[in-house]
Amino acid sequence: MNAPAQGTPAQRTYREDEAVDFVVVGSGAAGGVLARELACAGHGVVVLEQGPWRGATDFRHDELGIHLLGAYSGGPGDFPQTFRTSEREVARAQQAIWSARGVGGSSVHYTANFWRFRPVDFRERSLLGPIAGTGFADWPITYEELEPYYTKVDWDIGVSGAPGPFDPPRSRPYPVPPLPVKSSGVLLERGAHAVGLHAQPAPMAILSRPHNGRAPCMACGYCMGYGCEFGAKSSTLATMIPEALATGRCELRTESVVHRVETDPAGRATGVVYWDRAGVERQQRARAVVLAGNGAETPRLLFLSASPRHPHGLANGSGMVGTHLMFNGYASAWGAFEHPLNEYKGPQVTRIVHDYYDTDPKRGFYGGGGIDGRFSPGAIEFALGGLPPGAPTWGRGYARAVHELYTRTVEFASHTTSLPLPTNTITLDPTLKDRWGRPAVRVTYTDHPDDLQTMRFLQARTVDMLHAAGATRVWTTPVKPSEGTAHLLGTCRMGDDPRTSVVDRYHRAHEVRNLFICDGSSLVTSGRGQPTMTIQALAFRAADHIARFARAGEV
């Protein structure tokens, strides 16, 4: 058995050869919630996390080490990837996925934009009709079914915010008010108002006031891509995991790399096989297996768990595993202003504009999105590639431009829909291996033309808003086909029909009764670019149903 890693709180331990109630693979946004909810419901839980435990002293204000050298994300050794735009190409080694490896997963380093999906997201296919060549579909659940769990995320995870003019219905107010508005937010409001749009406080999974015994944001500015040393960002490392361990029914094993879900001849899952910190192969037996590795690692694990009974990968009789990958679109417009904004202080986002959330058939293409005011580059990134086109790249003029613009530039970012395409996939690379000898994740992705149109449409709106807000200079990052993402959605989609989906409405794999999958892969459509709130609401809901099945002996 692994000794608990340094920094891990005291916890219960389980034997590997006796079946624990649930083994949860992944401790991120979804896995952390599932572990806490299942343990609180009285079940024994073992969580296997491939990355390490990190504490406050690991969360440095260090753009080089964390952004450029990938201290949290792993590199080509830990997480090699290949990318291609279609199955006609041979994929080349290229980082296409930005995710954190460690307890809390990517909820540790995310930006913490926590938009709820809206009722329309769950039934857009019915409202708009089919879109040729896509897997555009309604969800098997509604916003109303998910609403109590969104509220649970607000309160148990900790979301700051205030209602906005286009918000979906909510059963309870936000637990804490919005974070203090930044200059980016003030300028977004100003620009939006001037062109007839509506800005509202951004819902953020960052505390503005103490909540659940946690400290509020200290506005250090190292938020997007960094871990929060104050625990004010509502990662599962700061929220769910400590509560799961405190039940005395949950064991968390870090640096434990799961590479196979075992099944018996009857087709039931019996546990998982993993390598521990020392590289020793181990097996954890379990009555049920819950996968929460998100939209790349989860399908890879299912492919690697193929058996004579499941020749194309576990739970993949439909051939749907790994398909319908959705990245979400992103488009940036930049504005320079007369006075300093000092966007390097505080969290990324304090105001959003949701006037273009819905698809408008009059635009002639599918898609919608949200806009926020922010400044995403760090100092190094900005100095290397963030200056306006035509700015000097070295010499006196360069130094002057960096000095004047780093504090005076704002980014209006558009976050947009991605259509679910059967040809956009996560598969196993046929040649590249990771350092454990597993096939690397191969990403195949081409934006649907409507996705690119949506990005361009919203980017043009943000250009108008920047001018209206009084920018002295406005420029854009050209919209190009996406070659990577931090959002890994749709690859084990949820649905009622086992021929077109991987899990049912309760996240139970159609083909394996005691296998549950709940993470970004469950999403049927992409939402408007901020999926984690919905992933966590799904996880709370899934845990409720899984615990109900367990009580009824139906697992």
Using only C-alpha atoms, the chain has a radius of gyration, in whole angstroms, of 22
Altogether, the residues listed in the chain come to a count of 555
Q: Residue 221 or 388: which CB sits closer to another protein?
A: 221
Residue 6 in contact with another protein, rule: CB under 8 A = no
Task: Establish if 341 lies at the interface with another protein (CB under 8 A).
Answer: yes
- Among the listed residues 4, 55, 164, 422, the single contact to another protein using CB under 8 A: 164
Of 17, 90, 132, 165, the one binding another protein by CB under 8 A: 165
d(CA 521, CA 294): 6
- Among 82-90, 159-167, 263-271, 292-300, which window interacts with another protein (CB under 8 A)? 159-167
DSSP 388: P
Q: Does 319 bind another protein (CB under 8 A)?
A: no
For another protein, which residue of 88, 92, 362, 396 counts as binding (CB under 8 A)?
396
201 near another protein (CB under 8 A): yes
Query: Residues 321-340 vs another protein: string with x where CB under 8 A?
Result: ----------------x-xx
Does residue 444 contact residue 85 with C-beta atoms inside 8 Å?
A: yes
Residue 410, phi then psi, degrees to nearest 5? -125, 155
- Encode burial over 310-335: b for 16+ CB neighbours within 10 A, e otherwise: beebbbbbbebbbbbbbbbbbbbbbb
What lies within 8 Å, CB to CB, of 3 at 6+ separation is none
Contacting residues for 169 by C-beta, under 8 A, at least 6 apart:
147
**4-7, Cβ contacts within 8 angstroms, sequence gap of 24 or more:** 5/52, 5/53, 5/254, 5/255, 5/277, 6/53, 7/53, 7/54, 7/55
Among 127, 218, 431, 554, binds another protein (CB under 8 A): 218
Residue 147 is a binding residue for another protein (CB under 8 A): yes
Residue whose C-alpha is closest to residue 326's, from 488, 465, 458, 216: 488
Contact segment (CB under 8 A) with another protein among 171-179, 360-368, 418-426, 546-554 equals 171-179
Q: How many CA atoms lie within 13 A of 306 on its CB side?
A: 13
Stretch that binds another protein, among 15-23, 378-386, 516-524, 540-548 (CB under 8 A): 378-386
- How many Cα neighbours within 13 Å face the side chain of 495? 22
| Nearest-angstrom CA–CA distance, 61 and 220 | 9
Stretch that binds another protein, among 256-264, 362-370, 393-401, 511-519 (CB under 8 A): 393-401
Taking CB under 8 A as the rule, does residue 93 contact another protein? no
Distance CA 221, CA 229 (A): 12
Residue 128 CA, chain-centre distance (Å), reads 26
Binding of residue 215 to another protein (CB under 8 A): no
What is the three-class DSSP state of 104? coil
Closest approach, Cβ 189 to another protein, in A, equals: 8
Comparing CB distances to another protein, the nearer of 353 and 523 is 353
Residues 25-84 that bind another protein (CB under 8 A): 58, 60-65, 68-71, 74-78
Q: Nearest approach, Cβ of 113 to another protein (angstroms)?
A: 17
Interacting span for another protein (CB under 8 A) from 25-33, 181-189, 249-257, 448-456: 181-189
Question: C-beta of 81: minimal distance to another protein in Å?
Answer: 13
> In this structure, how many other beta carbons lie within 10 angstroms of the beta carbon of residue 165?
9
Pick the binder of another protein from 155, 398, 506, 549 (CB under 8 A).
398
User: Which residue in the set 402, 422, 423, 473 belongs to the binding site for another protein (CB under 8 A)?
Assistant: 402
Which one of residues 26, 32, 104, 185 is an interface residue with another protein (CB under 8 A)? 185
> With binding defined as CB under 8 A, does residue 155 bind another protein?
no
Nearer to another protein, 173 or 319 (CB): 173
Among 120, 186, 194, 460, binds another protein (CB under 8 A): 186
Q: Give Cα separations from 347 to 58, 65, 86 (angstroms).
A: 19, 20, 37
Min dist CB 15 to another protein, Å, is: 31
Query: Binding to another protein by residue 342, rule CB under 8 A?
Result: yes
Nearer to another protein, 326 or 413 (CB): 413
Closest C-alpha among 270, 266, 294, 207 to residue 519:
294
Nearer to another protein, 153 or 244 (CB): 153
Question: CA-CA distances (angstroms) from residue 167 to 117, 161, 180, 253, 527?
Answer: 9, 11, 20, 39, 14
CA dihedral 306, 309, 314, 320 (to 10 degrees): 110
Q: According to CB under 8 A, which one of 212, 407, 446, 477 is a site residue for another protein? A: 407
Q: Which amino acid is at 266?
A: A
Query: What residues line the site for another protein (CB under 8 A)?
Result: 58, 60-65, 68-71, 74-78, 144, 147, 162-165, 167-171, 173, 177-178, 180-183, 185-187, 200-201, 218-221, 337, 339-346, 379-380, 383-384, 393-396, 398-400, 402-404, 406-407
